[in-house]
Amino acid sequence: MLTAGQILQLIRDGACHTRKALIEFTGLSRSTITDRVDRLIEAGYIHESGVASSGGGRPPSVLDIDATSRLVLVADLGAGHAHVALTDLAARPLAEEHTEMRIDRGPEAVLSWVRQSFQRLLDRTGHPHDRVCGIGIDLPGSVDHTSGRVIRSFLMPGWDDHPIRETLRSDFDVPILVENDANAMALGEWWSSWRETRALVLVKVSTGIGTGVILNGEIYRGAEGAAGNIGHVRLRETDDRVCTCGSRGCVASLASGHAVAADLGRETSRDAVRLVQAGDPTAIARTQEAGRTLGIVLATAVSLLNPGVLVLAGDMAETGEHYLTGIRESVYRRSLPYTTRNLEIATSSLGERAGIVGTAVIVMEHVLSPATVDAALAAAESAPPRGRPKAGAAG
């Protein structure tokens, strides 16, 4: 027999939007469906948003997700920026805050800013803490999803094994999910623009290079949670440039925004982008060369995964077609024609908001999953009335 959480999933998926449709689809009795639906309405998961067309008699009420009843706090942390947002359960932002901050300042300084920013967002919008149902954080490193701790990152000294969840849980006793930034960005792009595709690959090119893979609507993380580390594929082992991982000839040391900036005598990837946007011919040529270099590795990814969409994100996506042109040259030249005949290679549609949207979707999917919903309903129903201790509890 389907649980209330599973009934909610049918409504979310669009399979059923009325009580009558739920009865017909599931084969459950009217009283059972009424019980499940009433519990979901009372808990604020769904509401009646109108009426459906009727072949006769009273029109049935339309059931829809109540996206405004609960709120989500998310933080998108990059090598040189921090972006936080308060969203509803449809990943729509209610308030946001952004600052330039290097993540190598360490977890204490960065997470302190995140905690303070979360509070400012709630204060600004007038929402209490108990409206927050989950928190999500994405950052540029491999993550252990069981513990929510960074496994390894070459851009984040001091973050390995730091208790991120425990640090934030002192303010919020809610689920706290930690994700790799490229994975979150890939999910954000898929959710916003490409839900019809079965496979999407996003490559983020900024200070470093990271990749997120979406297969059948879900993040593919690999056996050790380290899928997407193409930035550390070695192309020229005799190259003089040393990568942040300590090796020579990695793609990131040749084609990242930092590598392009260094060759142009600049400090950051954003400096390189500004030169390209100003029409500097040397910067444009170096950017296209970097795109061709990365495209060599992406051609292998295209042959292996056969994605429908390849998205360029991060700072170098702001160079317009210049970096993208280099990627296209290598991918089309090195891949079999039938793997690329329907492939779309495009820049991010969300820009710097991709991580925020994707991380909000990750939290949303967790909070509204059947298991989480059923557990929350059971806990609420077993809780004692306010002001009265639960039976068997100390008075």
Mutual orientation of helices 19-26 and 4-13 as an angle, nearest 10°? 110
pLDDT, tens digit, for every residue of 267-320?
Answer: 999 999 999 999 999 999 999 999 999 999 999 999 999 999 999 999 999 998
Residues 6+ apart with CB under 8 A from 89: 65, 66, 67, 68, 69, 70, 71, 72, 133, 364, 367, 368
- State yes or no: pLDDT of 223 exceeds 90: no
Amino acid at position 23, single letter: I
- 137: its two tokens: 């954080």
Helix (H) / strand (E) element for 347: namely strand 344-347
Tell me the torsion sign for CA atoms 213, 86, 151, 160: positive
Q: How high is the pLDDT of residue 76? A: 97
pLDDT, tens digit, for every residue of 175-188?
Answer: 999 999 999 999 99
Q: How high is the pLDDT of residue 394? A: 38
What Å distances lie between residue 332 and 181, 273, 303, CA to CA? 27, 25, 11
Alpha helices in 197-343 (DSSP H): 251-255, 257-263, 269-277, 281-305, 321-334, 337-340
Q: What is the DSSP-derived secondary structure letter of residue 90?
A: T
Q: Which residue has the tokens 């298991």?
A: 371
Q: How high is the pLDDT of residue 52? A: 62
pLDDT, tens digit, for every residue of 338-388?
Answer: 999 999 999 999 999 999 999 999 999 999 999 999 999 999 888 776 544
176 and 164 Cβ atoms separated by less than 8 Å:
yes
pLDDT, tens digit, for every residue of 273-286?
Answer: 999 999 999 999 99
- 178: its two tokens: 């930690």
- The half-sphere exposure of 236 on its side-chain side, counting CA atoms within 13 A, is 15
